[in-house]
Every structure is written in structure tokens, then in C-alpha cells.
Amino acid sequence: MTDTMKAAVFEGHERIVLEERPVPQCGPNDAIVKVTLTTICGTDVHIWREEYPVEQGRIVGHEPVGVIHELGVAVSGYEVGDRVLVGAITPCGSCFYCQNHSEAQCSGHEDEWKMIGAWRLGNAIDGVQAEYFRVPYAQANLAKIPDDLSDEQCVLLADIASTGISATETANVGLGQSVAVFAQGPIGLCATAGARLKGASLIIGVDSIGKRLSIAREMGADEVIDFTQEDPVAAIKRLTEGRGVDVAIEALGKQQTFEWCLDATRPGGTVSSLGVYGGKLEVPLESFVYGIGDKKILTTLCPGGKERMRKLMELVRHGRLNLGPLITHRFSLDQIEDAYELFGNQRDGVVKVALTP
């Protein structure tokens, strides 16, 4: 057994490079997982571009599947060798937030006060784009993968599926409702899939990239709108008898898409926001109907924890969710710089990049 490993480390502007690091140590409540497959996230690209701050020297990545390599003495019910999925968000299960049903905001521990939400891996602590990583609060976060599911079928559940689908859950999309999803990147595509799972009758996908709009149809969109060809708000009004949709999902994090969501939502409807916003976000008075249109604005951070991951895996296992079309490119961990260059610059029709250590 070696005691060093290869890891993708953030080292400054557009520099995520392969380094040799010690294999992480396993504390009593931890597990060490040997990574078998991971993916690059849009959030990692924000780190790569220095648009989201993490410490230099941090191992990045938060979307892992792997095999348990070592277990802390306080963790029970698992064995070394078990295949596991670990969510991007790793709640502790016992703090104020976890006990108040805000697991994604779990950050009540005194050494973690600077953290936003419970996003630890590849942010507050070392991440998963490596040969091994440490799972904190392992008892709450190791989800065993059923034998009949492959790594590729599970890896996108860790973050983008959990996040994307959560927009429809937070908005409480009802049977027969209409839903528009603004931006059909990986998270928007999962939100589109979520709208179908929740029983929406009309699902509208908005983007400008033809390939993404065609995957949107596979994920469940009935109508797709290329916003460079037509005004998406006018098109949505036309499709909804002039009212607007019951729920508009913001899956990009830009002022324009946020405004479109407000404008495309019917009076009394809901804007369900997933985007991570940069710069400034304004709520235009007219779009918000001066505060008397009863429009609700809700946000959700990726739900994590093993029970969330179990449920998502069951959806895949029973044929209700298939994210296969989203993995468009595959690299080895050794090719990490090429992988970031391609994904960061959105070349070659990329949707999601998988990495194999």
C-alpha cells in the first residue's frame, strides 16, 4: 500500500494541476474512499477562474463514487470494499441546522464558521479529484451503491441531480403544472428531469445551444426555446394562455435569467432559484409586480447525506431517471489540465466531464 496519491490541486488563476499528496488520514468518524469515478462541476470552474475563493493548495472536486478503503472506529454498518456514492454536501446529522431540517446549511461547527452551507469537499476541506479522499461524518454520508448500478449511472447524483431536482421539490411542483427551466446546462437538465418526475404537464427548456436543447427533450422538455431566436418570456406566455408558468427555475445565476424567470411566472407563481450569483442581483419592480403579484422567490442548495443519495439511486435503478446523455467527455485524472481547459471553455459541445483516477 502506498502512502501518497495523485490529486488535482488549485494553485492559482486557471491552474488546477496534478500533485503528489499524502493519502488522507482516517479519524474516528471518517472514512477514506478510493475514488473510481468523479466529475468536474461548474463550481470547480469558478474556483479555477478565481471567481469563487478557496485556499491555494486545496484539492478540488465534490462529485465522487468510489470504494471504501478505510473506516473510522466509530463508523458502523459498512465494510472496506463497499462501493459508495457520497453527496457534494456532507451534513453532520446532529447540529442545529441538521436537526431543523436544513441539512444543506449544516455549518454549525466552530471550526467551520467561514463555510457557506455544508459544502465541505473541495471547498472547506480537501476534495475528491484525487485517488483517495476523506469523508467527514461518514456515518451520515456513505450511501452504498446497489450492485446493479454502474459508477457512471450514479456519479451525477452527488451534486447536479440532487441540486437540479431539488428546485422542483422546493417549489412543490404539482401534478399538471407548467414549469420553465432557464438554462439547460447540467443542473438545468436535471431540473427538467425533476419537473417530469414531479408530474408537470408542460415543461419548457430555455437555452441557446442546440445540443443542450435536444438533451432537454430527452430529459422531459415538451417545448424548447432558443432565446437567441425568440423572446423567451413572450414564447412562454404564448404557451400558457398568456398567464406565464406556475414555476420558473433559474439554473444559471445571472441577472438576465433571474429577470426572465420573474417575468415568465404567472401571478402567484414561484421562481425556484438554483444559480449561484456573482456581482449584484436586483429584483426589478415591474417583474416583481411591485410586491403585490404574490410571486415567491425560493432558493435551494444541493441536498446531501446518504438517505438523499439512496433515494436518487432508486430513481435511476427503477428507470425513472437516466442521466447517461449528460456525460459527454471522459478523461483520466492524469489529463486534469486538459479536462479543465475543455470544460472551462465549454468546447466540443461538452455537458459533463468524467475523470477516472
Q: Pick the stretch among 124-132, 155-163, 251-259, 282-290 that binds Zn ion (CB under 5 A).
A: 155-163
Q: How many residues form the binding site for Zn ion (CB under 5 A)?
A: 8
Closer CB to Zn ion, 117 or 269, in the complex = 117
Closer CB to Zn ion, 122 or 232, in the complex = 122
Contact 336, 152 (CB under 8 A): no
What are the grid coordinates assigned to 204, written together?
Answer: 419548457
- CB 286: neighbour CB atoms within 10 A? 10
Helical ranges in the chain per DSSP H: 42-48, 96-99, 138-141, 151-155, 162-170, 186-197, 210-219, 232-239, 255-264, 306-317, 336-344
Q: Pick the stretch among 86-94, 198-206, 226-234, 323-331 that binds Zn ion (CB under 5 A).
A: 86-94
Closer CB to Zn ion, 258 or 343, in the complex = 343
Closer CB to Zn ion, 60 or 245, in the complex = 60
8 vs 59: CA distance, rounded Å: 6
Closer CB to Zn ion, 23 or 326, in the complex = 326
> Cβ contacts of residue 161 below 8 Å, gap of 6+?
190, 193, 312, 321, 323
- Is 95 among the residues that bind Zn ion (CB under 5 A)? yes
- Is 308 among the residues that bind Zn ion (CB under 5 A)? no
Q: Pattern 174-193, binding to Zn ion, x per CB under 5 A?
A: --------------------
Contact 140, 87 (CB under 8 A): no
Closer CB to Zn ion, 136 or 220, in the complex = 136
Least distance (Å) from Zn ion to the CB of residue 258?
Answer: 20
Least distance (Å) from Zn ion to the CB of residue 97?
Answer: 5
Interface of this chain with Zn ion, residues 97 to 116, rule: CB under 5 A: 98, 106
Interface of this chain with Zn ion, residues 34 to 73, rule: CB under 5 A: 41, 43
Using the rule CB under 5 A, which residue among 47, 89, 92, 200 binds Zn ion?
Answer: 92
Least distance (Å) from Zn ion to the CB of residue 263?
Answer: 28
Q: Of the candidates 54, 123, 40, 49, which has an alpha carbon nearest to the alpha carbon of residue 343?
A: 40
Which residue's CB atom is positioned nearest to Zn ion?
A: 41
In the chain, the N- to C-terminal Cα span, in Å, equals: 16
Class of residue 108 by CB neighbours under 10 A (exposed 0-12, middle 13-18, buried 19+):
middle
Using the rule CB under 5 A, which residue among 159, 223, 250, 259 binds Zn ion?
Answer: 159
Residues that bind Zn ion (CB under 5 A): 41, 43, 91-92, 95, 98, 106, 159
